[in-house]
Structure 1
Amino acid sequence: MKKLLFTAFMLLGFAFNAQSQNLSKNALGLRLGDNDGFGGELSYQRAISSDTRLEFDLGWRNNKDYDAIKLAALHQWVWNIDGGFNWYAGVGGGLGSWKADSFYVNGVKYSGDSNTVLFAAGDVGIEYNFDIPLQLSLDFRPEFYFSDGIKDDFGPDIALGIRYKF
């Protein structure tokens, strides 16, 4: 009986290893979502093994009320669902900076403020890798801010990613 259980666990382990996929070495594209005013990010993924990768995202915003820039770095684990479908989860963090412009309320001028922010982030999502070098993804990234000068220290980020794989 012990041999049978041991064999079953070994076969199960081999089955999970067989589902491991080869990630593309590099992927570059856009991550389009909205988190505290960041509408778009330049996104780069780099595989570090057959089922893990690093993702770097550079977001910026420039409008009439404020300017901001944000750099995020995440380590992701990727699991194959079926064919080109994968799901992934990761952790990481980043650094950002924002500057608000001066504004008027009832004729009174208020000076703009600025600050630098550190944040920790998680990430969970699903992606599809086409036979052509194209990847589409949808993910949720909760971000927890430190030293941002704003009382709201949580930012949920849902985004659609489109990347060219090479």
Structure 2
Amino acid sequence: MKYPLTILSCAAAMTLAACGTTSAQVGPGVGPQGADELKAFPAATAGQTRHVIRLPQQADEDGLKVEIIVGKTARVDCNNHFFGGRIETRTAEGWGYDYYVLPALGAMAGTLMGCPANSEREVFVAAPEQPLVRYNSRLPLVVYAPQDVEVRYRLWRAGETQNAR
């Protein structure tokens, strides 16, 4: 029986296990490799910040993915909250390297449950769409986002290969 690609993609995604969430390193882009490591990537446009994530070398990078998470810390009640926004994949012209752009973070929305008194708290509220991208320690992972947006990431490790029945 043939399965649509979306079902296979979902099954593969469900076999991944989270390894942790970390804040992205934000800086001018000069790391241990020097200024040359970012020359392929465009400068941030007005109102945007270039976030550079440098991943350590791993033994089996093909079994890893990086989840890009964008959002803001906000004061919320007991409801589930999220921001609108979609991360776009773009390619550095002449280089072929992918980078990621959040053109804008939409308005915050949430469920409308009745909340108990004093249920407000400060939490990181993320956009619902968080792409999984290839783990590659040889290139920086570059994300452009509005200046007031936090960029975080989480590493995912694939489980053992299973036989289909």
User: TM-score if structure 2 supplies the norm length?
Assistant: 0.26
Q: Which protein has the larger Cα radius of gyration, Structure 1 or Structure 2?
A: 1
Higher strand share: 1
Relative contact order, higher structure (CA 8 A, sep 6+): 2
